[in-house]
Amino acid sequence: MCTRCHKVLIAPRRKAGMQIIAVSVAVVVLIIAASVFPFLQISAAGRVNSVSIMDAALSFTQGPMLVLALLTAGFIIFVPLLRMLLTLYVLVPVVLDRAPARHAIRAFRLSEALRPWSMAEIFALGCAVALVKVADLATVGFGPAFWMFGVLVVLVIAQDSFMCKWSVWNSLEQPRQL
Amino acid sequence: MAETPPPVAIKPVRKRGLSGASFIWLIPLLALGVALWVAWQSYTSRGPVIVVTFQDGAGIAAGETKLKYRDINVGTVEKVGFGAGLERVEAHIRLKKDVAPYVDASSVFWIVQPEVTAQGISGLSTVLSGVYIEGSWDSEIGQWANTFRGSDVAPLIKPGASGLQIAFRTTTNGTLTDNAPITFRGIQVGQVGRAQIARSGAFAIVEALIYEEHRHLVNSSTRFWDTSGFSFSVGPTGAEIDFSSLATLVGGGITFDTFVSGGEAVLDGEVFDVFEDKESARTSLFTVSEVDPLQISVIFDENVSGLAVGAPVELSGFRIGTVDSLSGIVDFNQFGDSRVRLNVILSVQPARLGMSGDNTADAALRLLQDRVANGLRARLASASLLTGGLKVEMVEVEDAPPARLVAAGQDLPVMPTTQSITSDAAATVEGVFTRINNLPIEELLNSAINVMNSAEGLMSNSDLQEVPGDVSTLLSDISGLVTSDDVKNIPVALNATLTRVEGLVAELEQQRIAESLGKTLVAAAEAAGAVTSSVEGVPELVAEIQTVAANAATLEFDVLIAELVSLTSSAEDLVSSPETAQLPVALAGALDQLNATLKELREGGAVVNVNQTLASARTAADSIAVSARDLPTVIARLNTLFAQAGQTIEGFNKGDELSRSAQGALRDIQQAAKALEKLARTIERNPNSLLLGR
Amino acid sequence: MVCMELSGTASTTVTAREAGLVACTRCTRAWPLGQQTCGRCGAALVSRDRGSLQRVWALWLVGLMCYVPANTYPMLRTQQLFQVDESTIIGGAVDLAHYGAYGIAAIILIASVVIPLGKFWAIAFLAVSVRKTGGFASHHRLLMYEVVEYIGRWSMIDIFVVAILSALVQLQGLASITPGPAAFFFALSVIFTMLSAQAFDPRMIWDVQAADDEAPDNG
């Protein structure tokens, strides 16, 4: 246990690292699945509309708003996905006691830099707010993507709190020690 | 050489309970499993895709337009495109899995969109929600089919629905509109479908459906007729306009009735004729067969115009045939001169002759021959006074020169004729006009004008006009007084009434009678204003009143007035103390009615009214005499008296013909209103029916 | 998070600079003062970034400029049965409060008004306080910085609410919600504020305190 930031160290590397890797894999799968399946469904007076997360992100599509659509899609889907993939890219060789992958350092640096820009959990809270607002007026149904996204958010937060960056940097730098 | 910071002490971590690496892998595996399961679920729960082609797209949108069956979504249109060669529009519809097996080769599809037809407007709800495709199939699983040809309109008979399917045939004057209802006794029991011209072009044929629960109403002796539009007739009862309901007025309808019993059950596909009205439908029953008529030729000597093809041929007043054709005939040999005679060929229906035994033309011929030998002759007669049409009549003529109905080979048998009786309508009408002309109308008019003038003079007398108003004001005042529950205000109201009475009296002072009457009323007012609570003097008063009433019939007017004056003066004597909360109301009423009565007398009204009034006043006084505590009932009775008087005047006009016919008209309007109400109720029940009554 | 204290020692803290070290902001590895790039993560090693204040102010200004149209333009365009309704951020929150949804109105107001304005003020305060001395204790200032950096991203919640509502409520004819131009400006404002907060070098807070300590008569 690292005395500095009191986070669980990646040692014994295999077990703790495996945890993080497992969680990351789950998050990747869930993100991909959640962005494809229907997320929410609203029905009022016989009219039905079903949206997926991509539809929500791409709802800004007029003129300069297209930029915002891309930004939103990025914040919700692509940045978390990229972060997870990068984490996997970095951790897998480390955990398996092999040399770190090429550009692992840059990858990890990118992953950390993107941390404040991963807004999946903010999106989840925004959905809650929006649902409360709309549920009065119409019937709202939850698609499978909704539950997947909820689990996903929990896992992302868990993964962030599990990982001790210092240890990762350390192991990246001195792969054969420890 | 980089200085490394002192190594960080690393404490060994306490091993936590269940943090086996193998366990953590459950999470991603679970996530993967869930994702795959959901994907697989949504894939396998999709139903098959069918292709339905339509003539035009009519607003079908890919991904949005739904397929409905009995108003439930059972599919969605996935793709819309054109068929080969841009011939038809193809809609690829993905069905729901549970419904897919039932969609078999016998399914019918059509697009529901707003439509305006003679029956109404339908599909209005699709304006808001978008058009949808409706499908109809039965509940059996039949042969699977992939592509369907959508129809342009909703089918009349939905597969799976049962009913009696028949066809109608109309002739030249028929007016059948699509989707017209078939009604029976006012209830819709079926529906007509689309009309098509028959291949031969001679008539229109249209399929119809009688709903299952009513199919027993139709058998082989049922006749159908058209009830669309309205019928207007002028007859001895007056002008009459008749229509079944507003729906049939506009959109047409067919109704039927089984006039005779003994019809057999009817199978699907039976063809019925649609007649123009009920009468022709009924008579068609007695037309056993239109074939095989007996044709007879008649030659008339006179040249009378007015006989037309199709004119009736009558025997003993009963129509037995029609005139088939007319022509002129010139035969020097036969007739002895070269005049053109009228050759009429009749066609007689043997069935109409009512023979027992067989109804053939030969039998009819034999019958007629027999009758001709006994004096039956044919003649022309007037069929209609107004139009001058003629008909051919066969009558038994006494002392007719002997003749025979000869059937000579190929020629038609010739019937002997007799003198025709044709009335010259024109001459008759002219005679009527002459008679009217000779009436002393102007004198009548003059005297009528004089009468009206004097009546007007009388009525325009200002006094006369004011009197009824004042009387009614008085009466309404009294009733207002009586119904007020604050008894203490009575003297106040009384005073107002009395002042009005005084005013009235002031007007009447012009007349001799009014003068004395005025005195009477003043006295009555004073008396009313100071009635004592004691009932001692009342019997006296009552007795006086009774005396007056008893003598009313025989007394002369002046004496009557004198008696009344004495009556009121005695009433005045009676009153000594200023007690006001007791009798004045009813008494004033009685006295005022006396006032009104006297005015009527001045106008020449009947003494009978006086009697009645005094009698009522007597009864009022009697009840006063009975008990001073019965005042409320007394007052109530007086109220009813006044009301009755009013009613009597009203009732005078009852029994007037005008109001009777007005009521008849009201009834007819009511019927129309009922039909409207029915329509409104249908609309309420199903807003779709606002547009098409479905 | 940058941990500056060496474990085990207490009382007097030795700053990295004094110890002749510079820490990498990314991977927290300490290096000698002269080194330019971090050997571990390759980031540029800058002991104190003087230009950072300029960046902070520039980004802060852009964020502030974007915040104005974000509030004046409509955020949501609601179309209900041929009746078009446009509402700004604050207007929408007020409408919600009218309808009785106080909770949601509070969330939106906090996330879209209180937090951004708070951030503007906090960053400006921090940027100014680095020059001047006194006033807030450094710990508090650091805390303020951490809070600003953490909470900054939560202002995006309003954008996501708009995104979800616009995507979801698309019932032709009945009701449909489309985002207004304010969403774009608001997102820009939040992004620039986040960048501004990130550009701020929190180590300068301690420098001021150190300066305070060195010149006690000024404090």
Q: Hey, where are the domains in chain B?
A: 45-149, 163-286, 294-426, 428-457, 462-651
The pLDDT value given to residue A82 = 92
Instruction: Give how far C145 is from chain A: nearest CA, Å.
Output: 14
**Distance separating alpha carbons of residues B27 and B18, to the nearest angstrom:** 14
Look at B566 and B574; give whichever has higher pLDDT: B566
Asked which of B211-225, B246-260, C39-53, C175-189 is least confident by mean pLDDT, the reply is: C39-53
Tell me: pLDDT of C180 over 80.
yes
Task: Tell whether the model's pLDDT for residue C7 goes beyond 50.
Answer: no
DSSP result, C39-63 = TTT--B--SS-THHHHHHHHHHHHH
pLDDT digits (tens, 9 = 90+) for C13-33: 666 666 666 666 666 666 676
pLDDT tens figures, B44-58: 888 888 888 888 887
Residue B690 pLDDT more than 60? no
Q: Which of C7, C31, C172 sits opposite B8 (nearest CB)?
A: C7
Average pLDDT over residues B680-691: 54
pLDDT of residue C65: 92
B282 by Cβ neighbours in 10 Å (0-12 / 13-18 / 19+) ranks as: middle
pLDDT for position B495: 66
Indicate if the pLDDT at residue C124 is higher than 50: yes
What is the separation of C-alpha B481 from the centre of its chain, rounded to a whole number of angstroms?
A: 47
| Beta carbons within 10 angstroms of residue B586's beta carbon | 23
Who among A3, A19, A26 is closest to B11 (CB)? A3
Q: In this complex, do C184 and A67 lie within 8 Å of one another by their Cβ atoms?
A: yes
Min Cα distance C173 → chain B (Å) is 7
For residue C100, the chain A residue with the least C-alpha distance is A133
Percent of chain B with pLDDT over 90: 0
Residue C87's pLDDT band (boundaries 50, 70, 90)? confident
pLDDT of residue B41: 85
- Whether the CB of C110 is below 8 Å from some CB of chain A: the reply is no
Indicate if the pLDDT at residue B576 is higher than 50. no
Sign for the pseudo-dihedral over CA of C1, C5, C11, C12? negative
Q: For residue C189, what pLDDT is reported? A: 92
> What is the C-alpha to C-alpha distance for residues C85 and B111, in angstroms, rounded to an integer?
34
Of B2, B6, B129, the CB nearest to C31: B2
User: What is the distance between the alpha carbons of residues A60 and C159, in angstroms, rounded to a whole number?
Assistant: 10
Q: Is A164 on the interface with C (CB under 8 A)?
A: no
C95 pLDDT above the threshold of 60? yes
Question: Of C56, C52, C205, C47, whose CA–CA distance to C133 is shortest?
Answer: C205
Q: Identify whether the C-beta of residue C135 lies closer than 8 Å to the C-beta of residue C218.
A: no
Judged by DSSP in three states, C10 sits in: coil
Summarize pLDDT for B417-473 with one digit per residue, the tens: 777 776 665 666 777 888 878 777 788 888 888 888 888 887 777 666 666 667 777
Q: Least CB-CB distance to A4: which of C7, C29, C160? A: C7
Question: Which pLDDT belongs to residue C67?
Answer: 92
Find the mean pLDDT for residues B321-346: 81
Structure confidence at residue B510 (pLDDT): 47
Integer Cα distance of C108 and C89 in angstroms: 8
Whether B364 shows a pLDDT value over 50: the answer reads yes
pLDDT value for A15: 67
pLDDT tier for residue B375 given thresholds of 50, 70 and 90: confident
Q: What is the pLDDT of residues B279-318, one digit of tens each?
A: 777 777 766 544 567 788 888 877 677 788 888 888 888 8
Q: Whole-angstrom Cα distance, residue B474 to residue B596?
A: 10
Q: What is the pLDDT of residue A126?
A: 87
Cβ of C42 within 8 Å of Cβ of A64? The answer is: no
Residue predicted with more confidence, B608 or C88: C88
Q: Do C173 and B128 touch (CB under 8 A)?
A: yes
Q: Are B2 and C7 in contact (CB < 8 Å)?
A: no
Which of A1, A117, A133 would best serve as a mutation to test chain C binding (most C beta carbons within 10 A)? A133
Residue B624 has what pLDDT? 44
Q: Which domains does chain C have, with CATH numbers?
A: 1-47 (no CATH), 48-214 (1.20.140)
C34 compared with C148, residue with greater pLDDT: C148
More confident: B585 or B630: B585
Cα B41–B43–B46 angle (5° rounding)? Answer: 105
pLDDT tens-place string over residues B117-154: 666 677 777 776 678 888 888 777 777 778 888 887 77
How far is it, in rounded angstroms, from Cα B373 to Cα B598?
Answer: 85
- Asked if C123 reaches chain A (Cβ–Cβ under 8 Å), the answer is no
Judged on CB neighbours under 10 Å (0-12, 13-18, 19+), B370 is: exposed
Contacts of A19 in chain B (CB under 8 A): 19, 21, 24
Read off the pLDDT of residues A66-105 as tens digits, 9 standing for 90 and up.
888 888 888 888 999 999 998 888 888 877 777 777 777 8
Q: Residue B111 and residue B53: Cα distance in Å, rounded?
A: 11
Identify which of B193, B189, B219, B187 has the alpha carbon closest to the alpha carbon of residue B206. B193
CA distance A167 to C39: 16
pLDDT tens digits for range B269-287: 788 887 777 777 777 776 6
Which subunits have 3 or more CB–CB pairs within 8 Å of chain A? B, C
Separation of alpha carbons B70 and C20, rounded Å:
84
The shortest CB-CB distance from A22 to any of B13, B28, B38 is to: B28
Flag whether residue A25 sits within 8 Å of chain B, measured between CB atoms.
yes
Task: Determine whether the interchain pair B10/A3 forms a contact, defined as Cβ–Cβ distance below 8 Å.
Answer: yes
Tell me how far CA of residue B163 lies from CA of A106, B677, B693, in angstroms.
Answer: 80, 28, 19
- Please tell me which of the candidates C30, C39, C172 has its beta carbon nearest to residue B5: C30
**Probe site for chain A from C119, C160, C162, C200 (most A CB atoms < 10 A):** C160
- Minimal-distance CA residue of chain C relative to B126: C173
pLDDT in tens, B201-244: 667 778 888 888 888 888 887 888 887 766 677 777 777 777 76
The pLDDT of residue C194 is above 60 = yes
Dist. CA B209–CA A73, nearest whole Å: 59
Residue (of B619, B474, B487, B484) closest to B545 by Cα position? B619
Does A15 sit within 8 Å of B129, measured CB to CB? Answer: no
Taking residues B331-360, report their average pLDDT.
76
Quick one: what percent of chain B has pLDDT higher than 70?
55
Instruction: Select from C1, C27, C172 the Cβ nearest to the Cβ of A5.
Output: C1
Which chain C residue is nearest to residue B5, measuring alpha carbons?
C30
Q: Which token pair is B453?
A: 């003038």
Are the beta carbons of C3 and A4 separated by less than 8 Å? yes
B142 touches chain C (CB under 8 A): no
> B635's torsion region: left (phi>0), alpha (psi -120 to 50) or beta?
alpha
Quote the tokens at residue B153.
Answer: 């309109």
- Mean pLDDT for the stretch of residues C170-176: 74
Distance (Å, whole) CA B134 – CA B58: 13
Alpha carbons A27 and B467: distance in angstroms, whole number:
103
Average pLDDT over residues A143-163: 86
Instruction: Indicate if the pLDDT at residue C183 is higher than 80.
Output: yes
Q: How many Å apart are CA C139 and CA B278, to the nearest integer? A: 106
Q: What is the 3-state secondary structure (H, E, C) of B89-136?
A: EEEEEEEECCCHHHCECCCEEEEECCEEECCEEECCHHHHHCCEEEEE
If one compares B251 and C175, the residue with the highest pLDDT of the two is: C175
The encoded tokens of residue B183 equal 């009604």
Residue C7 and residue B9: Cβ atoms within 8 Å? yes
Query: Which residue of A14, A15, A37 to mutate against B (max B Cβ within 10 Å)?
Result: A15
Of the two residues B35 and B405, the one the predictor is more confident about is B35
pLDDT, averaged across chain B: 69
Chain C interface test: which of A68, A71, A115, A167 (most C C-beta within 10 Å): A68
